[in-house]
Structure 1
Amino acid sequence: MTPPDAMSPGAAASTVRTLHPGTADPVATGLLASLAAAAPGASTVAVAVHRAGERLVAVGGRTAHNATGRPAEPGTRFALGSVTKTYTALLLAELAARGEVGYDDPIDRFLPPGAAPYRRVGGAPITLLHLATHTSGLPRLPPGLLRSALPRWFSNPYAAYGPGELLAALARTRPSAAPGTRVRYSNFGVGLLGMLLARAAGEPYGGYEQALTARVLTPLGLRGTGARAGAAGDATGYWHGRARPPWRIPGLAGAGALHAGPEELLRYLEALLDPVRAAGGAGPLATALAEVARPRLVVRPGEDRIALVWNARRRPGHLLLFHSGGTRGCTAFVGFSPQRRVALAAVANRAPALDGAFIQRAYLLLRELAGGTTRFGAPSPIG
């Protein structure tokens, strides 16, 4: 059921930032209308685009359907869900660029005694790279998590699942395939990666946000991005027309705990388009920003690849890198093309639909912008 005050496909942007602020922008209105049509029930939808030096951030609607809702802004935060995984990949690349970890380091190096998963005699260990490319053989979720989540299934299913529970589950896990032999999407794997990277960065196992903030978010100026749920002004999430509390994910923070606004999402993507400028010069962070976009393995010959967490798809003359995310109340999509200097982020405060309409619409918009088939603004550079 769609609430009566849901954002309509033709809703005007409440906040538009373009090259020409203060003027009506048909491109912004058109992008918002297209995405809002694919997110019925959302009270706010936002899109942020960069193309060849031009940028646009447009936000429509209000942060909630009820009287507490306020006009959404470029800084209004949405739950990112699995888009968080791309930040975890960047943390991995930053630590690797400094020589503090190696991509081929076995996870046993960062685990307490007795916490390593089952390994066949003579078999290869799971490495950090396996976790970042979904080739670890670990299941989608840790064993036992769903059972512990059931009492809070409609509120905060992961809130009581911390690093201790994750380590205990890992010790009794038997991978379904030898590491490096099969791609199998795993929240367990990337959540574990975030926890191990926190430890490698000198934080406790539960210190993912602290490590990410120090190594990635603060250096890139992303001060509004973080794992704290329910901050004032955040978009309220909706599932089947009902408001849902933001998820707290202490044990799998690296797989889905972050929140960010569309303007900071765009700045994050722009850092991936121009690593040296974003990092303030050549150095470990600039190296890391470039490394995450490098494809590591082929999923389907001639088409799909996996970089560090990012999905990569070959298009005529360029590469598209993208990832999506969803929680019980928000849907997010991010993508970019380094060769075409294009990036797009799209968010809505409603849970993902079974048909994936919002994510598919956002991907098609990114593809069209990168392919030059969608007009975007006037051809003048940002000063």
Structure 2
Amino acid sequence: MEAPFTADRLRGLTHDHSVPGAQLTIRRAGKRVSVATGVTRVGTARPVTVDTAFALGSVTKAFTATVVAQLVAQGELEWDDPVCEYLAEFDGAVDGRMSAVTLRHLLSHTAGLVADHELDSSRESSLARYTASAVLTSPLHEPGRYFSYSNTGYNIAGHVIETVGDMKWQAVVENSLLRPLGIDPVFLSGGPAGGLRTVADGHTVRPGRERSVHPVGVYVPDGWAPASGLAGSADDLVALATLHLGDHPDADALLPAADRAEMAARDPRANAFGMADGWGLGLAHYASPDGPWLGHDGTADGGTAHLRFHPRTGTAVALTTNATTGTLLWADLVDILREHGIPVGDHRPTTSTASAVQTGLNRFTGDYRNGDTRFIVRTHQDGTTLHLTDATGLTAGLALRGDLTFDARRTDAETAPFSGRFVTETATGDVVLMQLGGRSARRTSAA
């Protein structure tokens, strides 16, 4: 795809989805096209350039995982060593299952840790204190048993990096990975922003006949830096991809091929239902007509980031946006790229064909928890469907199918249906988890 054509398509998509600004980088057959469009903040004339930094959200995790892999390559860490061997904070764990958590569990989201542990102060930047607090929580399940997306696990991985590297997470990431890849770092939390780069503001887009677009501040607790504290450009994301593809001039020195392959390998236990088609160590797997692609998605307050790369062909695609509708733009972009011969991998859930379940629903009712998040599942008045609520006001009807997946349709807001599933214990058939959007909630009591 030529640069003018790519730029025109990106401008059209930002207009369609009311996105103030965006970047797109495509690397294919050794050639790279980078385009930028729009403004960094609605109502201003500050243009987005290819160097503008956007909040990367959870794509930060791919950088954190890569640094862990570098330390493994250097012999400082081992994938399957218990994390308690590196972190004294695990001595204070209240649940013995914490002692079995490994780095592999953390990076594949199979540790069973709560999703979003927070400290009382959002400005607390000590990852040691964060870890000491996080290990006081109870795991959702035995480590290595199921997939449950966890920011908590990556913040603990960041503390491992600090402990072994004897520097703050930001310093290790900058010196070991960002600078060698030619990336001028911008940290949104836990330390001063590096360099002189412009950072795009985020925006919320409210639906309606005429969409309203409002700037919002990016909020990242300082203790969450390893999970979501980076900002960067689409070019920066493709630079990371070139390392994992082995195409960067210093790829083997920065991360040997064996360790790149270890990160890319799909973990059979990491069934990332609702998020991706599989998961490795810091990298998600996304299906495409041309085989699986690797990468990560990220959302921040008022922004999105998407990275995909294809190990077999060396193709890489990255998109950054500064609006909540960036995820919709990404989906349309994937379709356009596929039409033009770039079969980008993306997770597109398919509707189950299993028959509806309308009896025996009490088997699924009860309270489900993930940290401070509590879901309540009850049978509806008609007795043939399930009803889901939580403390935020979410109210939805669940249409359950025989394979234990369900469609949830909100009754408190006009939004598209979302999917989930119940998970049972193999030996007993008892329902133990409910999965929504890649996160698991443990069944703590029956109704």
Fold shared per TM-score above 0.5: yes
Establish whether residue 239 from structure 1 lines up as the match of residue 190 from structure 2: no
Q: Give the gaps of 5 or more residues in structure 1.
A: 1-17, 150-157, 374-383
2:143 is the alignment partner of 1:168: no
Shift in Å, 1:195: 1.9
Q: Tell me by how many angstroms 1:313 deviates.
A: 3.1
Counterpart-to-counterpart distance in 1, 2:170 and 2:143 = 27
Alignment-derived partner of residue 52 in structure 1: 29
Q: Choose 1 or 2 for highest CA Rg.
A: 2
> What's 2:93 paired with?
117
1 CA distance for matches of 2:63 and 2:267?
17
CA distance in 1, matches of 2:248, 2:197: 28
Secondary structure in structure 2 of the residue aligned to 1:333: strand
1:1-383 equivalences under 5 Å are 25-34=4-13, 36-38=15-17, 40=18, 42-67=19-44, 69-113=45-89, 115-120=91-96, 125-142=100-117, 145=119, 148=120, 158-160=122-124, 162-203=126-167, 207-227=168-188, 228=192, 233-240=198-205, 241-273=213-245, 275=246, 277-280=247-250, 282-287=252-257, 288-297=259-268, 299=270, 304-351=277-324, 356-364=327-335, 369-371=341-343
Q: Is the 8 A contact 1:201 1:211 kept in 2?
A: yes
Q: Which amino acid aligns with 1:270?
A: T
Identity of aligned residues (%): 26
Shift of 1:162: 4.1
Asked which structure has the greater RCO (Cα within 8 Å, sep 6+), the reply is 1
Q: For the residues of structure 2 that align with 1:366 and 1:131, how far apart are their CA atoms?
A: 33
Q: CA deviation at 1:297?
A: 2.6
Q: 1:95 to 1:116 in 2, by over 3 A?
A: farther
Output the amino acid matched with 2:177: V
Alpha-carbon distance change, 234 to 296 in structure 1, aligned in 2, over 3 angstroms: same
Contact 1:32–1:46 (CA under 8 A) maintained in structure 2: no
Instruction: Name the amino acid aligned to 1:58.
Output: V
- CA displacement, residues 201-229 of structure 1 (integer Å, 9 cap, x when unaligned): 122xxx11111111111222212454455
Native 8 Å contact 1:335 1:363 kept in 2? no
Q: 1:366 to 1:77 in 2, by over 3 A?
A: same
The residue matched to 1:343 in structure 2 has which SS?
strand
Which string of whole-angstrom CA distances, capped at 9 and with x for unpartnered residues, describes residues 67-103 of structure 1?
3x41211000000000000101101111111111000
CA distance 1:113–1:222, change in 2 (3 Å): closer
Instruction: Return closer, same or farther for 1:282/1:300 CA change in 2, 3 Å cut-off.
Output: closer
Q: Kindly provide the CA deviation profile for residues 49-73 of structure 1, in whole angstroms up to 9, marking residues without a partner as x.
A: 1112121111011111233x41211
The TM-score normalised by the length of structure 2 is 0.66
Aligned length: 329
CA shift in 2, pair 1:170/1:247, >3 Å: same
Query: In 1, Cα distance between the equivalents of 2:271 and 2:310?
Result: 19
Q: Which moved more, 1:125-134 or 1:194-203?
A: 194-203
Which structure shows the bigger proportion of residues in strand conformation?
2
Relative to structure 1, the CA distance from residue 284 to residue 306 in structure 2 (aligned partners, 3 Å threshold; closer, same or farther) is same
